[in-house]
Amino acid sequence: MAVKLPEFDVVHKQKRCGNDLAILPVYNEMPMLRLIITALKNSYSGNVLVIDDNSNDGSFEFLEKTKKITLLRNGKNAGAGGVLLQGFNYAREQGFHRIITMDSDGQHHACQIKEFFSALTKNKVDMVWGTRYPAGFTRLAKSFQARQQNNIAVTNRLNEITGWGITDSFCGFRAYSGKALEKVHPTETGYGMLLQFAVLAWKAGLQMIEHPVPLIYLDETRDFNQNFKDAKIRLEYYFSVIEEVLHKES
């Protein structure tokens, strides 16, 4: 069943250059956004899709003046997963061959995009997912320990299901082949979309590998929205997303 996503405006469109696409969701990311866009342009020469999820902190006004990107502006907030679904829809419609998603808060280095795409092609896999814990989970600052414990629990559950041996369930720095996006159609608009995608991809027989990325948290005060702060509630939600996909008939 198709998911209903917010209507959006195409503010401006980049002239297409090749078959690679970087998707950058944005929601209130000033002033970090200026650095992210600069780094992206300096290290990546492909197509860039920026989706502003109804920001109100000046992010959209900055992006509106930014050249050589395709910019979509949501009429209302689509959510952490919903905005990525919009990006996936765009990639399918435009027929891009290699797609990468990255956060706009400074956690991901644009200079690694080439590494992700190279790993995708060289290893002939459908997906390359970033991992911040390639050697195992390290102890984080106190403000992030509950988040990490949830990651461990969810990662263990996904490995029980898929046998993939992944080490990080929540890193948003991920590369996909066009084939992967054609075969997998998530519907979850919340934070659990990446987990829904994982189980759907496994059910579809897709292959994935991980690629190490730095563990970066530039703003330790940043947190989930008010209704999602409780770690137990988040974990229950994550597991419910996984189990729903797992037991749903194809």
Q: Cβ distance 76 to 6 under 8 Å?
A: yes
- Structure confidence at residue 139 (pLDDT): 56
* Distance in angstroms between the alpha carbons of the first and the last residue of the chain: 12
pLDDT of residue 229: 73
CA distance linking residue 8 with residue 75, whole number of Å:
5
In order of their start, the domains of the chain are 8-247 (3.90.550.10)
Q: What is the pLDDT of residue 215?
A: 76
Tokens of 15: 């002239």
Instruction: Give the pTM.
Output: 0.91
Q: Say what the pLDDT of residue 148 is.
A: 84
For 184, 194, 199, the CA distances from 244, given in Å and listed in that order, are 15, 14, 10
The pairing of strands 70-74 and 8-12 is: antiparallel
Residue ranges in the chain modelled with pLDDT below 50: 141, 143, 218, 220, 224
Tens of pLDDT along 164-215? 999 999 999 999 999 999 999 999 999 999 999 999 999 999 999 999 998 7
